[in-house]
Structure 1
Amino acid sequence: MLPAGSGNHCSAMLVVLGLAYLLLVRSMRHQRASSIGAAFAHGKRPLSSMTTDEAYDIMAQLQELEFPYAMNKARRIALLKAGAIPTMSRLFAATGQNTRRNAGRRSVDTEILLREVQSKPRSSERYMQAVARMNFLHARYRKAGKILDADLLHTLGSNVVEMFRIVDGGEWRSLTDVERCAIGIFHRHLGEDMGIPLDALPSGAGGGWRDGAHFAAELRDWTVAYEEAVARPVPTGNQYVRVYVDSATSAMPRAVTTLVRKILGSNLDTTMRTSLNLEPPGPVLVLYLETLGLVRKLVLRHLCLPRPSSWAVKAVDEQPNPATGLYNFEHAGFQPWYVKPTFGARWRPSALLVRALGGRAPGTHGERFHPQGYSLETIGPAPQEGKGLEEMSATVEFMKGRGSAKCPFAQK
């Protein structure tokens, strides 16, 4: 038998330990934000002095450690929004790749290229190859006037819009001015490397921007205004959603497809949701999603210690598959493009759930889903495989010699 009063003693100890843990979380939860902003705190340095290397390091911390869920969600919502712009949805339809058979690979390829440029330093070979590949795939359509400069600027800006909106609205804390500045520097560089004119922004043709935060704010505001001006429901926009969204759940009951469409619609404003022909979420679904989001915020803010570096969420594999020299891709999609068919990839809970919902297991259908991995030199639509190598090589060589301002917004 336990001594009298031992139960009360254990309860008191648990309370003390619980309070100590809560105090530890409170003292450590904001340490990364403080560390990121330390160099610019209390007027030590102006934001215009932020270097390119500092900006890319901050972007890496936001994606891998601080907000991996929100940053990945922002990337996917930004890609979805491209189909809400009529000129873009018409182009997707005209390429012949906007079909149920091709949609899975096309969306994964686009996401991989975006992940590569967002997660690698601007001076790295992988960043340059990913940008060069995107530029090659866009080049003939830009030359033919089927991709407008404004459409590319919108695609660039959509990532800023969604990063700001999803982190500020759905995470346990908002972005700081220092983090917004880093996001601005990254997107200005990416816009320049992709040859996207920035003159449409208010300060683009004038005296320039004060710092990265100023650039990001102008790009965000221009993007939202552009959506309001051009986004309209058109048949190709509806086709875009049917191919990229509805086909993923085609093997499931229709109610599942409707639910997925409404959940996606809840992540868009009225303009973009209407343009994509997505149903608005009802009040019950809105309440449920908002409650989940609030609970997640509170748990992360008050109960979770900061993610350690050893648990960093990598956007892409750091090293190629030693057996093939190609890069595999880890994702829980209905089609396992580029996924290495390991035991874990096939049998972990998320993989089993995907298969239960009608998805394919990694390694099925032989080589169809390219389990050996992808190459940045050839990734893209099947008709473009193996093409553009000379153009890409020239682009990479140009980028290597371009030079990069250490402080791109420093006032001269």
Structure 2
Amino acid sequence: MSWTENIPTWQLVLLSIVGYVYLCRVLRYRRLQQKHALYPYKNREDFAKMTNQHAYEIQKYLFGVEFPFTMQKALEFALFRTYGIPSISSLLVKTKQLSEKQFASKRYADTVVLISEFMAWSPEAERTNAAIARMNYLHSLYQKKNLISNDDMLYTLSLFATEPCRWVNRYEWRQMTEMETCAMGTFWKSIGDAMNISYTPLTSSSLGWRDGLEFYEELHRWSLQYEEKAMLPSLDNKKTADETTALLLYDVPTSFVPTGRAIVSALMDDRLRKAMMYHPPPSYIQTGVETALTLRKLALRYLALPRPHFLRHDIISEKADENGRYHRIEYESEPWYMESNTRNRWGPQAWFKWMGGKPIPGTEGGLYRPQGYLIHEVGPKSQEKMGLREFEEGREVLMKAGRGSCPFSIGK
């Protein structure tokens, strides 16, 4: 006789549920402990020794395996948040790169590609430094004309460093640990160094920071202060936000777009909403969004097993094709740089796009560059064949900079 035969069914079901919840919790926290055990940073004193190589590995794990959905959305909204600064949005309106429908999706895809390139590979990898060199060249076109200020560059950097942590702490199944937050500060400090951003607006810039966590905390405080004086209502903000919101709601049926816009507004704080000149969402939308995100948090914490590595979230191809080009391997709006293969043309996403009358990879006469991209050509069409010399010089400087070391131990 089985020992379970004398136990009521409801008790067996309850025991199974409790056991599964316990298993999820044990496996999730065991992986957290195992990941932290890989690195020699056990206390605050150790953080000062964190290398950029280790910081890169930690942030890649966070984005790819631990919190892929939340961190990806946080980066998207970090970029969106910069449009609440009139000096940033006015330049985008002037260049039409994110304020006009015919340019917005390409500009957005190019931004995703370059950021993904320097986040996906080691700090000393050629692809990483090629992406930063190309980004620096594109920025230099406007910096030479004093159209981009150092404060705006530093503010943008601050959002990419802090918004993912803020979103995780608010919407995910657990909080960021101090080591993980230190890694984010260390990684983005190194990116700022590579971009030649001046940290003089930060109080401790003359003395330096003891570690990535201290840098992160001061950068976050400065960012909030900058928003108080610089995030102001502007029609340029609204125009840029409208086109970006249209990209975020690209696959939403027309009849549901107003609801989608209300959901986007619900994810904004009051300051950003006022700067974008957006209306507050109806209370039921605000409550619904917060409830859905809370339920997701609880489901992940108690009902979801840890994501296995083979299901990691990647955005760009690991290897170049026979022509030396790379591809995106996922997209949300238009299929820029997506390879025209069987999976991309006939997979579930392609069918969904096709039924909605949206373009799929390989259609539109090659408009969306299914042949992929060369890093030194990413950017506005007018600049695709420009800046090769500056790109090569910049990449060479970065390759020789030893960017895998600790950015706080070499007097930076």
The TM-score, its normalising length taken from structure 2, stands at: 0.91
SS at match of 1:46: helix
- CA deviation vs aligned residue, 1:308-336 (integer Å, no higher than 9, x gap): 222221232211234x4311112342311
Give yes or no for contact 2:250–2:333 (8 Å, CA) kept in 1: no
Partner of 2:109: 108
Tell me: CA distance 1:281–1:64, structure 2 relative to 1, closer, same or farther (3 Å). Answer: same
User: How far apart are 1:164 and its partner, in Å?
Assistant: 1.8
Partner of 2:180: 179
Partner of 1:209: 209
Partner of 2:76: 76
User: How far apart are 1:25 and its partner, in Å?
Assistant: 1.6
User: How far apart are 1:345 and its partner, in Å?
Assistant: 2.1
User: How far apart are 1:375 and its partner, in Å?
Assistant: 1.3
CA–CA separation in structure 2 for the residues paired with 1:392 and 1:250: 33
Partner of 1:309: 309
Tell me: CA distance 1:184–1:259, structure 2 relative to 1, closer, same or farther (3 Å). Answer: same
SS at match of 1:76: helix
Partner of 2:193: 192
Q: Which range is displaced more, 397-406 or 386-395?
A: 397-406
Give yes or no for contact 2:105–2:247 (8 Å, CA) kept in 1: no
CA–CA separation in structure 2 for the residues paired with 1:391 and 1:228: 36
Q: Which range is displaced more, 113-122 or 337-346?
A: 337-346
Give yes or no for contact 1:65–1:308 (8 Å, CA) kept in 2: yes
Partner of 1:132: 133
CA–CA separation in structure 1 for the residues paired with 2:396 and 2:185: 25
Which consecutive unaligned segments of at least 5 residues does structure 2 have? Answer: none
Pairwise mapping of residues 284-303 of structure 1 onto structure 2 (< 5 A)? 284-303=284-303
What RMSD in Å do the two structures reach over aligned CA positions? 2.5
Match of 1:160, as an amino acid? A
User: How far apart are 1:248 and its partner, in Å?
Assistant: 6.8
Match of 1:187, as an amino acid? W
Partner of 2:122: 121
Tell me: CA distance 1:215–1:320, structure 2 relative to 1, closer, same or farther (3 Å). Answer: same
Pairwise mapping of residues 217-232 of structure 1 onto structure 2 (< 5 A)? 217-232=217-232
Tell me: CA distance 1:248–1:302, structure 2 relative to 1, closer, same or farther (3 Å). Answer: closer
Partner of 1:95: 95
Q: Which range is displaced more, 156-165 or 368-377?
A: 156-165
Give yes or no for contact 1:26–1:302 (8 Å, CA) kept in 2: yes
- CA deviation vs aligned residue, 1:361-406 (integer Å, no higher than 9, x gap): 2211121000111111101100001111110100111111123473
User: How far apart are 1:105 and its partner, in Å?
Assistant: 0.6
Partner of 2:169: 168
Partner of 1:63: 63
SS at match of 2:385: coil
CA–CA separation in structure 1 for the residues paired with 2:251 and 2:49: 53
User: How far apart are 1:407 and its partner, in Å?
Assistant: 3.0
- How many residue pairs get aligned? The number is 407
Partner of 2:386: 387
Give yes or no for contact 1:48–1:411 (8 Å, CA) kept in 2: no
Tell me: CA distance 1:250–1:194, structure 2 relative to 1, closer, same or farther (3 Å). Answer: closer
SS at match of 2:222: helix
Q: Which range is displaced more, 277-286 or 129-138?
A: 277-286
SS at match of 1:30: helix
Tell me: CA distance 1:19–1:271, structure 2 relative to 1, closer, same or farther (3 Å). Answer: closer
SS at match of 1:399: helix
* Structure 1 position 35 matched with structure 2 position 52: no
Partner of 2:376: 377
CA–CA separation in structure 2 for the residues paired with 1:288 and 1:359: 28
CA–CA separation in structure 2 for the residues paired with 1:406 and 1:293: 38
Give yes or no for contact 2:41–2:50 (8 Å, CA) kept in 1: no
Tell me: CA distance 1:41–1:28, structure 2 relative to 1, closer, same or farther (3 Å). Answer: farther
Give yes or no for contact 1:333–1:354 (8 Å, CA) kept in 2: no
Match of 2:137, as an amino acid? F
Give yes or no for contact 1:25–1:303 (8 Å, CA) kept in 2: yes
Partner of 2:152: 151
Give yes or no for contact 1:85–1:230 (8 Å, CA) kept in 2: yes
Match of 2:174, as an amino acid? R
Which consecutive unaligned segments of at least 5 residues does structure 1 have? Answer: none
Give yes or no for contact 1:362–1:371 (8 Å, CA) kept in 2: yes
Q: Which range is displaced more, 64-73 or 264-273?
A: 264-273
Give yes or no for contact 1:249–1:256 (8 Å, CA) kept in 2: no
Pairwise mapping of residues 235-384 of structure 1 onto structure 2 (< 5 A)? 235-246=235-246, 255-322=255-322, 324-384=323-383
Give yes or no for contact 2:325–2:372 (8 Å, CA) kept in 1: yes
Aligned identity (percent) is 31
Give yes or no for contact 2:123–2:404 (8 Å, CA) kept in 1: no
CA–CA separation in structure 2 for the residues paired with 1:160 and 1:111: 16
The TM-score, its normalising length taken from structure 1, stands at: 0.91
User: How far apart are 1:125 and its partner, in Å?
Assistant: 0.6
Match of 2:82, as an amino acid? A
SS at match of 1:183: helix
- CA deviation vs aligned residue, 1:175-231 (integer Å, no higher than 9, x gap): 0110010000001000010011011111112x1112101101111111121122111
Give yes or no for contact 1:40–1:178 (8 Å, CA) kept in 2: no
Match of 1:77, as an amino acid? F
Match of 1:396, as an amino acid? R
Q: Which range is displaced more, 93-102 or 142-151?
A: 93-102
Tell me: CA distance 1:172–1:352, structure 2 relative to 1, closer, same or farther (3 Å). Answer: same
Tell me: CA distance 1:381–1:25, structure 2 relative to 1, closer, same or farther (3 Å). Answer: same
Give yes or no for contact 1:59–1:119 (8 Å, CA) kept in 2: no
